[in-house]
């Protein structure tokens, strides 16, 4: 049987194995899992919980924290889960975790995490396990939901609006809901709604809090996101990768590395093109529905 | 040409005041004329705030303290639109609705001396070009804030209010008569799913976003497979999981069905990358390089990070196209309202499943052993009904997760096939959207959709003959869901949010 050989596979044959960073220790992961840093996170969370629980302080709470995990989702609520080693069920038994007469976890326990961000999470669920064999494993899981979500859950037609306005867009309706919640709940800080909706979407409403434009996506209030497309550093990084690919696969780095089939008009690789594609006409600066301009390449959609 | 106030370039604060006032008017459903009158009056009274002084009394209201501490532009503008406090003539909205011209609305609502004495325009003389210049400036400012049209720009660009392409067919509501206590978060999620927007919160900010705009962000990073920080990646493309919508033949090519439903295209890309704890969040974008067909920009659908690990796990998805975003600005008022959009064939996987589940009730479909097994989605037997796996398969088929009309195996077979197609993963789903299957192999299966259980009930408290049981929403399954006999599997959010095409959900 003959081996199936292509120029690419021949080239691949010469590629040395690429061990990952964890295996080689090439990256200093100790910085990222620094015990001191983890301890600081745990102490911060423990301190905030002790301050707000309404029950007795648990002085060694930070030492009981066995896991802290953040799960963000692009659809729905994001959560923070904290695993705690509490074989004797001190937290639920001591009054540290309390509920109101309806069985609702109360008073609210809000946690700022990670330190240095404005992210705030509110305790929404606790799950305790009693297992004689569990040993020193975390047996109590506290789930904190995004505080904003928790506040919006408190609002209903009973204490707020039941419907929107005539001739209102969906974006406008959302803004109305948030404004109403801020007003009724006297939120501090206020719930901030960012709408990243295409101007061509019939449901689009320019939000109040910032000037909308395709070129502005203030996700996370990150300055790097204040404009569209690749940053200069990212363009340089992409070029480095292209050159590496060209070396491995024998392609032309000026056209995006080894695969000409993924170039657009021979000027830039597919990923870079797509990432920089805009519906804004580079000539007039105005939004054009369904158009895709590639900066520096296209003058027509 | 930039926006001007009395012939001078508008300052940042003037633009901010205008934006706030116009937004307040939009929330009240103000027409373009009412919005322009509000701005025209503000320019006439205080040069749109420039002459308002420390009290920020932009509209020169008689008792500015009534509106709360300054700046109180939104409240004062609201009073201008509604004719409350000391604003007159029923407010700008009422005046505009009876057809008064813009300059007249401004004067009668402000009830200034010139208007009282002579029914004239108190403001026009403040512009070198007279009233016409003032009205043109107001019109331009309103148009720039998306509140009307101006010569030379697309009609309705970003606008709201009374423009035809943006008029909703019905009021947006919080809950409905069957669920009058629905909360805001559920409402927000429901409408986001209907419109195929991304509605999410990352601990810091609430976002309503569509896929187009999310993908237009500056990427959070470029991930190369050979980058030492990328320690693990999985990329799955699966032709057998595609569902074809229509047939298209191209010259000199193999006839191929195109317009693929994007249910699993590709199924999933997951990347484990060493990074700082807050480097990536869901809603960010990344660019993949050296991942073969997966090269290019991706949306982070989920991001999980434990502080005890040096890496984050990213689940990358293709961004959904928002419903009707492709219809453009001039297509007329034919976009779907939230409730219409949730009908099968035009919504997301979860929306289609919810709709299907809502149409199945034990009043119509009793428990019938083997019911719904010959053709997924179709009740069978005599009388026609469903058994547990037949009912669950009908809902899955509506969401495109099971081939509509195909035969349905027993519960274990259903789970097996869903797992082989990567449609489900072990564990319960959380939050919304959510679809969790609970299976006691060979015995019983039911599901939970956005927190509500669905399946077949025995109807008679365990009576084996189940004379009163049937398919529908369940209200007594919490104990089964937490029983160790039942294994839980959930459909990943990345799949639940994707669009189901009509071909995938409509019975053939």
- Tell me the three-class secondary structure of B211-257, residue by residue: HHHHHCECCCEEEECCCCCEEEEEEECCHHHCECCEEECCCCCCCEE
The 10s digit of each residue's pLDDT in B380-393 is: 888 888 899 999 99
Q: Which of A116, A177, A229 sits opposite B187 (nearest CB)?
A: A177
More confident residue, B443 or A47: A47
Assess whether A74 and A175 both reside in one domain. Answer: no
Model pLDDT, residue B164: 27
b or e along B298-314 (b: 16 or more beta carbons within 10 Å of the residue's beta carbon)?
bbbbbbbbbbebbbbbb
Q: How confident is the model at residue A82 (pLDDT cuts 50, 70, 90)?
A: very high
- Verify that A116 and A40 share a domain, yes or no: yes
State how far residue A140 is from chain B, nearest Cα, in angstroms: 16
Residue A205: what pLDDT? 53
Whether A12 is covered by a domain: the verdict is no
Q: Which of A32, A152, A169 sits opposite B188 (nearest CB)?
A: A152
Residues A50 and A144 in one domain: yes
Q: How far apart are CA A54 and CA A213, in angstroms?
A: 45
Considering only the beta carbons, identify the residue of B157, B188, B431 that sits closest to A287: B157
Q: In terms of domains, do A139 and A51 share one? A: yes
Least confident of B125-134, B235-244, B397-406: B235-244
225-264 in chain A: CB under 8 A from chain B: 225-231, 234, 237-238, 241, 244-245, 262
The pLDDT value recorded for residue B168 is: 41
B146 confidence band (pLDDT: 50, 70, 90): low
H/E run at residue B206: strand B206-209
Domain-ending residue, one of A181, A196, A212? A212
A23 found inside a domain: no
Look at A193 and B205 and tell me if their CB atoms are within 8 Å: yes
What lies within 8 Å, CB to CB, of B143 at 6+ separation is B149, B150, B153, B157, B159
Choose between B163 and B57: higher pLDDT.
B57
Does residue A148 sit in the same domain as residue A168?
no
Least confident of A84-98, B347-361, B371-385: B347-361
User: A25 at the B interface (CB within 8 A)?
Assistant: no
Domains defined along chain B, listed by start? 4-166 (1.10.530), 211-317 (2.40.30), 342-505 (no CATH)
A214 contacts B173? CB cut-off 8 A = no
Compare CB distances from A202 to B188, B302, B324 and report the shortest one's residue.
B324
pLDDT at B442 > cutoff 80? yes
pLDDT of residue B252: 38
Q: Choose from B339-343, B386-390, B457-461 the range with maximum mean pLDDT.
A: B386-390
Binning pLDDT at 50, 70 and 90, where does residue B459 land? low
Provide mean pLDDT across the span B384-405. 87
The mean of the pLDDT values for chain B is: 75
Q: Which of A184-188, B176-180, B329-333, B379-383 has the lowest mean pLDDT?
A: B329-333
| Nearest residue in A to B23, CA atom | A208
Q: Which of B222-236, B248-262, B289-303 has the lowest mean pLDDT?
A: B248-262
Higher-confidence residue: A198 or A112?
A112
A117 touches chain B (CB under 8 A): yes
Task: Supply the pLDDT for residue B360.
Answer: 80
> Which residues does chain A have within 8 Å of residue B157's beta carbon, measured at their own beta carbons?
199, 286-287
b/e map of A145-183 (b: 16 or more CB within 10 Å)?
bbbbbbbbbebbbeebbeebbebbbbbbbbbbbbbbbbe
Digit-coded pLDDT (tens) for A29-39: 555 677 888 89
ipTM over 0.85: no
Name every residue whose Cβ is closer than 8 Å to that of residue B90 and which is 6 or more positions away in sequence.
B83
Q: Exposure string (b/e) for B156-173, b if CB count within 10 Å is 16 or more?
A: bbbbbbbbebbbbeeebb
Q: Is A33 exposed, middle or buried (0-12, 13-18, 19+ CB in 10 A)?
A: middle
CB B231 within 8 A of CB A104: no
Of B414, B401, B398, the closest CA to residue B359 belongs to B398
Q: Which of A201, A208, A291, A292 to mutate to test the interface with B (most CBs of B within 10 A)?
A: A201
Say whether pLDDT at B133 is over 80.
Answer: yes
pTM of structure: 0.51
Radius of gyration (Cα) for chain A, nearest Å?
A: 26
Residue of B nearest to A150 (CA): B185
B179 or B344, which is more confident? Answer: B179
Return mean pLDDT, chain A: 71
Which of A108, A123, A154 is the last residue before a domain boundary? A154
Per residue in B411-429, pLDDT (tens digit) is 999 999 998 888 898 888 8
Task: Look at B349 and B177; give whichever has higher pLDDT.
Answer: B349
For residue B315, the chain A residue with the least C-alpha distance is A73
**Chain A residues closer than 8 Å to B164 by CB:** none
What is the average pLDDT across B430-454?
A: 86
Q: What is the mean pLDDT of residues A142-170?
A: 87
Last residue of a domain, one of A114, A134, A154: A154
Rounded to an integer, what distance in angstroms lies between the CA atom of residue A25 and that of residue A27? Answer: 5
Identify the band that residue A66 occupies on the pLDDT scale cut at 50, 70 and 90. Answer: very high
DSSP letter for each residue of A44-89: HHHHHHHHHSSS---TTHHHHEEEEEEEEESSEE-EEEEEE--TT-
Give dist(CA B451, CA B433) in Å, integer: 9
Do both A124 and A148 map to the same domain? yes
Residues A111 and A128 in one domain: yes
What is the token pair recorded at A166?
A: 């005539």
Q: Per-residue pLDDT tens for B484-506?
A: 888 999 988 778 877 665 333 33
**Structure confidence at residue B170 as a pLDDT band (50, 70, 90):** low
More confident site: A44 or B317: A44
A17 within some domain = no
Residues of chain B in contact with residue A207, where contact means CB-CB under 8 angstroms, are 23
Do residue A48 and residue A99 come from a single domain? yes
pLDDT digits (tens, 9 = 90+) for B286-335: 888 888 777 777 888 899 999 989 999 999 877 766 654 333 222 222 22
Same domain, A230 and A186: no
Query: Domain residues for A290?
Result: 218-301
**Segment B465-479 mean pLDDT:** 71
Cβ atoms B365, B470 nearer than 8 A: yes
Q: Quick one: A42 and A126 in the same domain?
A: yes
Instruction: Specify whether the backbone of B89 is left (phi greater than 0), alpha (psi in -120 to 50) or beta.
Output: left
Distance CA A124, CA A135 (A): 26
Residues of B in contact with A26 (CB under 8 A): 228
Q: Contacts of residue B324 in chain A, CB cutoff 8 Å?
A: 201-203
> Does A47 share its domain with A122?
yes
Contacts of A180 (CB under 8 A, 6+ apart): A155, A160, A161, B184
Give the count of domains, chain A: 3
Confidence at residue B321, expressed as pLDDT on a 0 to 100 scale: 61
Q: Find, among A37, A73, A34, the residue nearest to B280 by Cα.
A: A73
Q: Which of residues 81 through 110 in chain A touch B, CB cutoff 8 A? A: none
Is residue A150 domain-shared with residue A35, that is, in the same domain? yes
Q: State whether A157 and B217 contact (CB < 8 Å).
A: no
Q: B297 contacts in A (CB within 8 Å)?
A: 271, 274-275
Residue A20 counted as domain residue: no
Four-residue CA torsion sign, B39, B42, B47, B49: negative
Q: What is the pLDDT of residues B364-380, one digit of tens each?
A: 788 888 888 988 888 88
Whether residue A186 is contained in a domain is answered as: yes
pLDDT at A291: 52
A286 interaction partners in chain B (CB closer than 8 Å): 153-154, 157
Omega before B266 within 30 of 0, i.e. cis: yes
User: How close, in Å, is residue A299 to chain B by CA atoms?
Assistant: 18
Higher pLDDT, B464 or B299: B299
- Minimal Cβ distance to B216: which of A37, A178, A217: A217
pLDDT score recorded for residue A110: 94
Which residues touch A136 (CB under 8 Å, ≥6 apart)?
A: A85, A87
- Host H or E run for residue B273: strand B268-274
Distance between A13 CA and the closest CA of chain B, angstroms: 16
Span B215-241, mean pLDDT? 79
Give the mean model confidence (pLDDT) for residues B148-176. 40
Q: pLDDT tier at A135 (50, 70, 90 boundaries)?
A: low
Please state which of the ranges A58-72, B176-190, B205-219 shows the lowest mean pLDDT: B205-219
A225 to chain B: closest CA residue: B218
Least confident of A39-48, A245-254, B179-188: A245-254
Please report the pLDDT score of residue B326 as a whole number.
Answer: 31
Terminus-to-terminus CA distance in chain B, angstroms?
57
What is the distance between the alpha carbons of residues B484 and B56, in angstroms, rounded to a whole number?
Answer: 65
């Amino acid at each position: 049987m003959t081996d199936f050989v292509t120029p690419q596979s021949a080239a691949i044959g010469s590629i040395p194995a690429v061990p990952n960073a964890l295996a080689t220790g090439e990256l200093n992961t100790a910085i990222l899992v620094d015990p001191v840093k983890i301890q600081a996170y745990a102490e911060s969370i423990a301190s905030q919980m002790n301050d707000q629980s309404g029950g007795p302080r648990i002085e060694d709470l930070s030492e009981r924290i066995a896991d802290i995990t953040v799960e963000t989702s692009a659809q729905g609520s994001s959560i923070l889960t904290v695993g705690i080693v509490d074989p004797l069920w001190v937290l639920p038994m001591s009054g540290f975790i309390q509920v109101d007469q309806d069985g609702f976890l109360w008073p609210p326990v809000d946690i700022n995490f990670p330190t240095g961000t404005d992210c705030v999470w509110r305790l929404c669920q606790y799950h305790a396990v009693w297992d004689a064999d569990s040993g020193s494993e975390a047996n109590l899981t506290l789930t904190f939901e995004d505080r904003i979500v928790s506040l919006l859950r408190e609002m209903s037609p009973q204490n707020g609006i039941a419907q929107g306005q005539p001739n209102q867009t969906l974006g406008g309706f959302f803004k109305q809901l948030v404004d109403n919640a801020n007003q009724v709940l006297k939120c501090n800080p206020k719930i901030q709604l960012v709408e990243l909706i295409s101007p061509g979407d019939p449901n689009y409403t320019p939000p109040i809090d910032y000037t909308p434009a395709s070129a502005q996506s203030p996700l996370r209030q990150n300055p790097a996101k204040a404009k569209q497309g690749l940053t200069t550093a990212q363009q340089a990084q992409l070029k480095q990768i292209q050159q590496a690919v060209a070396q491995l696969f024998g392609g032309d780095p000026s056209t995006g590395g080894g695969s000409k089939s993924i170039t657009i008009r021979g000027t830039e690789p597919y990923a870079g093109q797509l990432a920089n594609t805009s519906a804004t006409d580079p000539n007039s600066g105005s939004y054009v529905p369904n158009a895709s301009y590639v900066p520096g390449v296209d003058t027509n959609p | 040409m930039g926006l001007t106030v009395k012939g001078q370039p508008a300052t940042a604060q003037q633009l901010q005041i205008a934006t706030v006032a116009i937004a307040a008017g939009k929330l009240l459903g103000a027409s373009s004329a009412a919005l322009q009158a509000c701005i025209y009056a503000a320019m006439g009274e205080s040069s749109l705030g420039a002459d308002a002084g420390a009290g920020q009394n932009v509209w020169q209201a008689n008792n500015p303290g009534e509106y709360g501490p300054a700046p109180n532009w939104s409240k004062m503008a609201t009073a201008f639109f509604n004719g409350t406090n000391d604003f007159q003539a029923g407010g700008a909205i009422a005046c505009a609705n009876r057809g008064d011209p813009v300059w007249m609305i401004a004067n009668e609502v402000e009830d200034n001396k010139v208007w009282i004495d002579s029914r004239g325009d108190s403001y026009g003389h403040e512009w070198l070009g007279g009233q016409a210049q003032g009205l043109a400036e107001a019109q331009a400012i309103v148009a720039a804030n998306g509140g009307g049209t101006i010569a030379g720009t697309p009609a309705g660009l970003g606008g709201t209010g009374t423009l035809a392409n943006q008029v909703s067919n019905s009021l947006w509501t919080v809950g409905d008569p069957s669920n009058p206590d629905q909360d805001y978060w559920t409402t927000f999620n429901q409408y986001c799913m209907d419109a195929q927007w991304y509605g999410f919160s990352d601990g810091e900010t609430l976002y309503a976003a569509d896929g187009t705009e999310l993908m237009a962000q500056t990427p959070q990073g470029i991930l190369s497979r050979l980058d030492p920080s990328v320690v693990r990646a999985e990329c799955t493309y699966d032709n057998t999981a595609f569902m074809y919508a229509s047939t298209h033949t191209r010259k000199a090519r193999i006839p191929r069905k195109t317009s693929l439903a994007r249910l699993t295209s590709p199924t999933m890309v997951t990347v484990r990358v060493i990074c700082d704890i807050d480097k990536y969040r869901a809603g960010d974008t990344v660019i993949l390089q050296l991942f073969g067909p997966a090269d290019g920009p991706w949306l982070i659908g989920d991001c999980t990070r434990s502080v005890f690990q040096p890496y984050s796990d990213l689940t990358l998805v293709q961004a959904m196209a928002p419903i009707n975003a492709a219809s453009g600005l001039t297509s007329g008022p034919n976009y779907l309202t939230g409730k219409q959009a949730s009908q099968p064939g035009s919504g997301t996987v979860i929306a289609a499943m919810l709709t299907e589940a809502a149409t199945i009730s034990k009043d119509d479909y009793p428990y019938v052993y083997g019911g719904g097994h010959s053709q997924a989605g179709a009740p069978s037997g005599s009388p026609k009904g469903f058994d547990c796996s037949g009912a669950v398969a009908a809902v899955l088929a509506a969401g495109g997760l099971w081939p509509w009309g195909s035969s349905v195996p027993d519960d274990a077979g259903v789970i097996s096939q869903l797992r082989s197609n990567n449609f489900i993963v072990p564990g319960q789903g959380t939050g919304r959207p959510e679809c969790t299957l609970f299976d006691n192999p060979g015995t019983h299966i039911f599901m939970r959709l956005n927190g509500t259980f669905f399946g077949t009930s025995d109807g008679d408290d365990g009576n084996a003959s189940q004379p009163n049981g049937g398919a529908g929403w369940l209200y007594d399954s919490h104990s089964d869901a937490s029983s160790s006999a039942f294994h839980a599997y959930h459909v990943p959010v990345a799949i639940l949010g994707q669009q189901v095409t009509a071909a995938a959900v409509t019975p053939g």
